[in-house]
Structure 1
Amino acid sequence: MKQILTIQKVLNNNVVIASNDTYKEAVLIGNGLGFNRKKGDSVPFDAADKTFLLQDEKEMEQYVNLLPYIEEKLIAFIHELLLFIEEKMGKELNEHIHVALTDHIAFAINRAKKEIQFSNPFLFEIESLYPKEYLVAKEVVQKVEERTGVSFPEGEIGFIALHVHSAVTDKSLRDINRYHSLISKMVGIIQDSLDIQLKKENIDYHRLIQHLHRAIDRADKGDPLGDENKLAAMLKSEYPVCYNLAWKLIKIMQNQLNKPVDEAEVMYLTIHLQRLTHKF
């Protein structure tokens, strides 16, 4: 049975506020959805090729407040981009990306037009940790540049990749950025402690940040790795410097996350650290 909603307000040609018994009040977003429609008109939920629904009250309010500052053509274009992202990722996007990505792309275009340049310090790490999201974000940037004629700095690919990752994993950007800041801090400590300069293009660096990310994620979710006492004893004996540094990093994780970290993480971190010294 088709879901039919009643329009409460037409915000523009592509966005309406509507309601029914299921959705008390929701923002419906779809190309041409509001065209020639007015308050009181009926609108089927699947009126557009694909209709996005903003059900969360806070997200809805933020989106409605954002609309007056963005050209209507751009809103329709970002809707196309969201469909493209969803198709490429093969997953339904969390509704918060509508506000976050609309806001980000609109202001990124303004920054580009004013030639305001900035760097993304986590660009390599983002590409390494989220390769699929990064490739999709790269295509999104190309589409924006083709449509608007503006050129984005490379760092924008990383920022958009984070929005995509956030939308498909339902993690907040705040938590994702917290992970990256923690990884960056630990990489700095590793370099100082081992007196080495890590090369980002090196496969061992790639493995290290992948492991740090997974270790932080496991700690955050409370997922244990398991117990390997014999291996731990061997690593402690053979590689004391890296073993002790691994413990230091684990304690930093615990303090930053304010959660316990499985002691088994020390072993795998020790192996990664030892690889970096090229003595493993």
Structure 2
Amino acid sequence: MNKSLQVKKVLNNNVVVAINSSGEERIVIGKGIGFGKKQGEEIFPKQVDKLFVLRDENEQEQYKTLLNSIDEKIVELINDVIVHIRTRFKNELNEHIHVALTDHITFAIKRLEQRMDIKNPFLTETQTLYPKEYTVAEEAIEIINKSLGIHLPEGEIGFVALHIHSAITNKSVTDIKKHSELINTLMQMIQDSFELSFDTKSINYLRLVRHLRHAIERVSMGDIMEEQEKLANVLKEEYPLCYNLAWKLIKVMQNTLQKPVPHAEAVYLTMHLQRLSRYDNDDK
């Protein structure tokens, strides 16, 4: 930013809504930037720590409403956390993270104060699917805990990791959660079918979970895979239990995603299932 802005509305001492020379709104953050400011007053670049755009009017209003009900210290802390996330990934984040993460962390702190512990059923899958996001989420939660002298539960790391992944990929958190829930369901089906308790750190387990993630993404985007008819016939003959289970998983995917799943997916799923079942049986 190298041009001055004009104050449109002061949200708190550290956050103001400003307009640029083209009349576009910006959310401007800086320590004490809003203190004593009035509408129309100028803001100079050196006063600004962070600046972002919320182009969606509903998101603008949601963020403004949030700031009215949140302690300024927490707002500043969450913005520092977002800067940390952006720095760790060395790329721009979808600006929706300002609304989503502020809302989520604020609610998480309230739940902690009220001694409400909400379990995260997808923690293992999230850590497996998005390892870097999970690591950065751990750092974010540690920053919050140390700054506020609190201890947010481990499950919050998983939730924050999903928000980070959403901001990086421009996918909605709702869709990401839906896919995580589907993977959780599929993995439970696999465990029940094999009647085994899997080592969630094993390479074959990790490969299968990641394969399911990519399969779900392919189906969601409508990607077409080349059919593997000859290989399918071999696998059906050699590994009938894994092949039949693969088709059960595919039917669940189809029903959940409401989209057709290419037959070729059964081939790759069967190979992953066979490898996983063999590994765990050999390890017992």
TM-score by length of 2: 0.91
What's the CA shift for 1:20?
A: 3.8
Question: Which structure 2 residue ranges, 5 or more long, are not aligned?
Answer: none
- Aligned with 2:28: secondary structure? strand
1:113 corresponds to which residue? Answer: 113
Bigger Cα displacement from structure 2, 22-31 vs 213-222: 22-31
Bigger Cα displacement from structure 2, 156-165 vs 12-21: 12-21
1:82 corresponds to which residue? Answer: 82
1:269 corresponds to which residue? Answer: 269
Structure 1 pair 230–47 and aligned structure 2 pair: CA distance change class (3 A)? farther
2:9 corresponds to which residue? Answer: 9
Question: Which structure 1 residue ranges, 5 or more long, are not aligned?
Answer: none
1:253 correspondence with 2:283: no
Q: Distance in 1 between matches of 2:40 and 2:150?
A: 40
Letter of the 2:199 partner, please give it.
Answer: K
Query: C-alpha offsets along residues 26-45 of structure 1, whole Å, 9 cap, x if unaligned?
Result: 43334433234220113357
Answer yes or no: is the 8 Å Cα contact 1:18–1:26 preserved in 2: yes
What's the CA shift for 1:253?
A: 1.1
Q: Distance in 1 between matches of 2:67 and 2:52?
A: 15
Structure 1 pair 21–251 and aligned structure 2 pair: CA distance change class (3 A)? farther
1:52 corresponds to which residue? Answer: 52
Bigger Cα displacement from structure 2, 145-154 vs 9-18: 9-18
1:61 correspondence with 2:61: yes
Q: Distance in 2 between matches of 1:259 and 1:30?
A: 47
What's the CA shift for 1:242?
A: 1.0
2:28 corresponds to which residue? Answer: 28
Q: Distance in 1 between matches of 2:22 and 2:165?
A: 29
Identity %: 50
Structure 1 pair 33–209 and aligned structure 2 pair: CA distance change class (3 A)? same
- Aligned with 2:275: secondary structure? helix
What's the CA shift for 1:23?
A: 4.8
Query: C-alpha offsets along residues 219-245 of structure 1, whole Å, 9 cap, x if unaligned?
Result: 111122323232222112211121121
Q: Distance in 1 between matches of 2:34 and 2:226?
A: 55
Answer yes or no: is the 8 Å Cα contact 2:125–2:209 preserved in 1: yes
Q: How does 1:187-266 map to 2 (within 5 A)?
A: 187-266=187-266
1:141 corresponds to which residue? Answer: 141
Q: How many residues align?
A: 280
Q: Distance in 1 between matches of 2:150 and 2:116?
A: 12
Bigger Cα displacement from structure 2, 99-108 vs 224-233: 224-233
Letter of the 1:34 partner, please give it.
Answer: G
Query: C-alpha offsets along residues 74-103 of structure 1, whole Å, 9 cap, x if unaligned?
Result: 111111111111000112111111111111
Answer yes or no: is the 8 Å Cα contact 1:30–1:79 preserved in 2: no
Q: Distance in 2 between matches of 1:222 and 1:26?
A: 37
Query: C-alpha offsets along residues 147-196 of structure 1, whole Å, 9 cap, x if unaligned?
Result: 11111111111111111111111111110110011111212222233333
Bigger Cα displacement from structure 2, 33-42 vs 90-99: 33-42
1:37 corresponds to which residue? Answer: 37
Q: Distance in 2 between matches of 1:253 and 1:145?
A: 38
Letter of the 2:81 partner, please give it.
Answer: L
Structure 1 pair 190–125 and aligned structure 2 pair: CA distance change class (3 A)? same
Query: C-alpha offsets along residues 115-157 of structure 1, whole Å, 9 cap, x if unaligned?
Result: 3323211111111111111111111111111111111111111
Q: Distance in 2 between matches of 1:256 and 1:147?
A: 41
Bigger Cα displacement from structure 2, 163-172 vs 247-256: 247-256
Answer yes or no: is the 8 Å Cα contact 1:242–1:270 preserved in 2: yes
- Aligned with 2:33: secondary structure? coil
